Structure 1
Amino acid sequence: MNVSLQNIDKVSALLTVKLEKADYQEKVDKSLKNFRQKAQIPGFRKGMVPMSLVKKMYGKSVLAEEVNKLLSDSVYKYIQDNKVNILGEPLPNEDKQKAIDFDTMEEFEFLFDIALAPEFKAEVAADDKVDYYTIDVTEEMVDNQVKAYTQRNGKYEKVDAYADNDMLKGLLAELDAEGNTKEGGIQVEGAVMMPAYMKNDDQKAIFANAKVNDVLVFNPYTAWDGNAAELSSLLKVDKEAAAEMKSNFSFQVEEITRFVAGELNQEIFDQVFGEGVVKTEEEFRAKVKEVIANQFVADSDYKFLLDVRKMLMEKVGKLEFPDALLKRIMRLNNQDKDEKFVEDNYDKSIEELTWHLIKEQLVKANDIKVEQDDILNMAKETTRAQFAQYGMLSVPEEILDNYAKEMLKKKESIEGLVNRVVETKLASALKTQVTLENKNISAADFNKMFE
């Protein structure tokens, strides 16, 4: 067996694999013996089929299979042993490859087109200045988060007079043109609604300061701006009928319910951060602010890496790629798409490929490795962040472990977690190697940079 690589230019090469009979015959013979032992052919006992018949029946397919296995292994081994930095997979050469005939040939020559990664150097230095944005945690953010915690400990209370955001329950009755209860008209007992969600301010105002036992007249169609789904839910009719229902209705208030947020007390402190971790409102707010700030770090690091990417792409400049070969690979990977898809998306794919190659160099230069514990910890941090969105900040480790292990059962989840670990470690390393231009920014202005 002989494997050789001939460079066509700086970014493409021709890989040639020559196989002789001695390279594959032993494996072919062994495979045919296995077939003979297992073959069940009428007229012969199992394992007693003549080898000549086995070769006639299976010889060609076994030869093709063993040659292809040997070919694949030898190509992979050559690329690995010689550290050939290829892009994509080797593709059969379309011009010089001679036809293969397993019926008559004993020696085979296979030619592959190889796309080589361009040679370049990507590195950062202290002279490189990169913006690093620290997102301001405002008192309003803290207030909103504290409010979310107290609302989870809130309760509903019955009250005598309506205020904004209260919930009303009562008898809803359709009226005729004279304002009397319509005979055979729609009536809904125990109808529930929240006037605060009405679209029309004039209709909403009808319920201001309403009291239990008051009878109020309003127009549901006007109140909800003819929204069929809202009207159907309130009037208990189908959407088609609701869309045509423009009558006035009376509403006799039977019950007014108000949500009252819970008190900010030690019970909430312990629920959020664990027993005894904070003991005063001041400590609680400071801790909440710290948590929000930590959640923003990942966003800041993400923007930092985007800016590093832009800087390095400009430093590296336009790289040379084997365009024809890469487009061929792209077509093979997107066989359900037409030629226009390749032409429309090729430049973007080259941009992403360039960054991928740059990032590979940075990861190698910084000796960044991903261990199993890194993946597990990232899964736990992801889970912790998801719980934090619902205000659950002191989730027991056992629960985090269980959720994390479920994530690790999915291949796509593992790939995503590995990428996040790499980017987290890379951002941490690069922040120490460049000059950071620290900038404070509001969350609103930070988000505008991604619009």
Structure 2
Amino acid sequence: MEITQDKHSANQALIKIKLNEADYQPKVEAKLKDFAKKSNIKGFRPGKAPISMVKNMYGTSVLVEEVNTILSESLNTYLKEQTFKILGDPLPQDQGTIDWKAQKDFEFDYKIGFVESVELTLDSKIKATKYSIKVDDKLINETLDSLKSQYGNSTNPEVSEEGDHIYGDLKATEGEFEKTVTLDLTKITKKLAGKFVGISKEAVVEFEAKDVKKGQWEEAFGLSEEESADLDGLFTLTVKNINRTETAEMNQEFFDKIFGPDQVSSEEEFITKVRETLQGNYDKESKLFTEEELKKVLTDASKVDLPEAFLKEWLLVANQGKVTEEDVEKEFPVYAKQLTWSLLSNEIATKNEIKAEHEEVIERTKQMVREQFAASGLGAQMEDSMDIFVDNYLKGEEGQNYMNMLTSIQNEKVLAFALDKISVEEKDLTIDEFKELLAK
């Protein structure tokens, strides 16, 4: 057997594997003899069929199988011995027609893509920002208003007021469009909402489509983008019911509904608890946002030469029939960033002996399960069965859940390590400023 490498560029090569008869024939002969011993061919006693007949019947299929096995094992062994990092999978090249009955020697080519090295120096020359979202009074007041509205009593008054929901039949004056909708008066312009204030059941309200601003067909009327795409002209909405949510009072019953029995006992304690809860949630969001921005900074600062042409070809082959060349071209920049970060993260982890421990995976999974059950109000009851839930989750997806959790923890450690080495500016944000950043 002969294996050679022909580099086409700094990150792509062709691997040639040449096999002669001595490489595969002993294994083919051994397998055919084994077939002969176990064969049950009509006209012969079990295991007594002539070897020549067995060769005629199974010789070609056994040869193909053994050659493919030798190729796979030899290629994998060869690639593991290389110093570069293989990306994707080797792509077998078209060999033309193979005469399996007559040929004795075979040659196979495989295209590979790789990176020679992953280089990144973590020092103060790399600059990043650590974001922290601060919960202000505006957000507290908006949250309190939302909670009081959400947990208030629902009524069906006879006459509508500002902020009500109008349930009725929406119909175009010209055309066939007609649909029963629930209109949220808080999500349309004040001018248009005024048409729906002070009306009662069976009232018919007329309005122009031009008075409904962009996005309000979907947000206020609940239509899909397809339904709202071509709406124009005059519309009527025949009122069938009026829905109103009365604002809940800030009392013990309200406190208990939000945080559970006897968790807070005064309005001051309640507001403090709301602030702490919001800050905890936004601390998680700002941490995730900082990590994603840091990945971009480190990726841009690194020297990783990806074999783009090879990877695009491999993505097409690996997803045969599921994606087009246009899909690959469109999504490749995102894929390349993710791949580069994965290579960087592994390189930093290896050089600095950073790794996630099994115990950390277990504890992180317990934390995730607790949060999920806490949201449903079942946290305390599930603690006794925690080990079972954790075990079932980590074994899920054929063990992929475990590997994903392991990778996630290692990535966090790598990012924390990087933050200690580079130049970091801390920046406080309001929730509005944070939303603006996300929108960019």
Does the alignment reach a TM-score above 0.5?
yes
Map of 1:305 onto structure 2: 291
Tell which deviates more after alignment, 130-139 or 349-358.
349-358
3-state SS of 2:421 partner: coil
Deviation at 1:244, TM superposition (A): 13
CA distance in 1, matches of 2:135, 2:148: 20
* Equivalent residue, structure 2, for 1:332: 317
Indicate yes or no: 2:54 matched with 1:66.
Answer: no
- After TM superposition, the score normalised by the length of structure 2 is 0.69
Deviations 1:87-130 (A, max 9, x none): 22223356xx7975432344544343332313242132244331
2:280 maps to 1:294 = yes
Structure 2 residue 436 is matched with structure 1 residue 444: no
What letter is aligned with 2:382?
E
Is contact 2:160–2:197 with CA below 8 Å preserved after alignment?
Answer: no
Residue identity matched to 1:315: A
Q: Identify the residue that residue 111 of structure 2 maps to in structure 1.
A: 113
Instruction: Give CA-to-partner distance per residue, 1:6-25, whole Å, 9 cap, x none.
Output: 65654334434444555444
Q: For residues 261 and 57 of structure 2, what CA distance do their matches in structure 1 show? A: 76
Provide the residue aligned with 2:415 in structure 1: 427
1:204 alignment counterpart: 196
CA distance in 2, matches of 1:117, 1:355: 13
Q: Any gaps of 5 or more consecutive residues in structure 1?
A: 173-191, 211-215, 230-242
Q: Tell me if structure 1 keeps the 8 A contact 2:140–2:275.
A: yes
Shift of 1:332: 2.7
Shift of 1:86: 1.4
Match of 2:204 among 206, 211, 219: 219
Q: Tell me how far 1:133 sits from its aligned partner.
A: 1.2
Equivalent of 2:100 in 81, 102, 121: 102
Q: Following the alignment from structure 2 to structure 1, what is the Cα–Cα distance between the partners of residues 127 and 337?
A: 22
What CA distance in whole angstroms lies between the structure 1 residues aligned with 2:203 and 2:39?
A: 86
d(CA) in 2 for partners of 1:196 and 1:347? 42
Following TM superposition, by how much is the alpha carbon of 1:429 offset from its aligned partner in structure 2, in angstroms?
2.8
**Distance in 1, Cα, partners of 2:293 & 2:244:** 49
Aligned residues: CA RMSD:
5.0
Q: Contact conserved, 1:195 with 1:204, CA < 8 A, in 2? A: no
Residues in 1 aligned to 2:300 and 2:237: alpha-carbon distance in whole angstroms: 67
Cα offset, 1:437, TM superposition: 0.6
Q: How does 1:220-299 map to 2 (within 5 A)?
A: 220-222=205-207, 259-265=245-251, 273=259, 278-299=264-285
Do residues 87 (structure 1) and 87 (structure 2) align? yes
The equivalent position to 1:137 in structure 2, one of 135, 138, 141, is: 135
Q: Aligned residue pairs: how many?
A: 406
Distance of 1:324 and 1:377 partners within structure 2: 42
Residue of structure 2 equivalent to 1:240: none
Seen in structure 2, the aligned counterparts of structure 1 residues 349 and 203 have a Cα distance that, compared at 3 Å, is: closer
Larger displacement relative to structure 2 (327-336 or 394-403): 394-403
**Looking at CA atoms only, which structure, 1 or 2, has the larger radius of gyration?**
1
Q: Which moved more, 1:152-161 or 1:294-303?
A: 152-161
Structure 2 partner of 1:122: 120
Per-residue CA distance 1:261-303 (angstroms, 9 max, x = gap): 5554556656655665555443443333233223223432333
- Does the 8 Å contact 1:272/1:392 carry over to 2? no
Gap runs ≥5 in structure 2: 170-180, 219-231
What percentage of aligned pairs have identical amino acids?
A: 26
Task: Measure, in 2, the Cα distance between the counterparts of 1:85 and 1:259.
Answer: 61
Q: How does 1:395-406 map to 2 (within 5 A)?
A: 395-396=379-380, 398=382, 401=386, 405=392
**Contact 2:207–2:236 (CA under 8 A) maintained in structure 1:** no
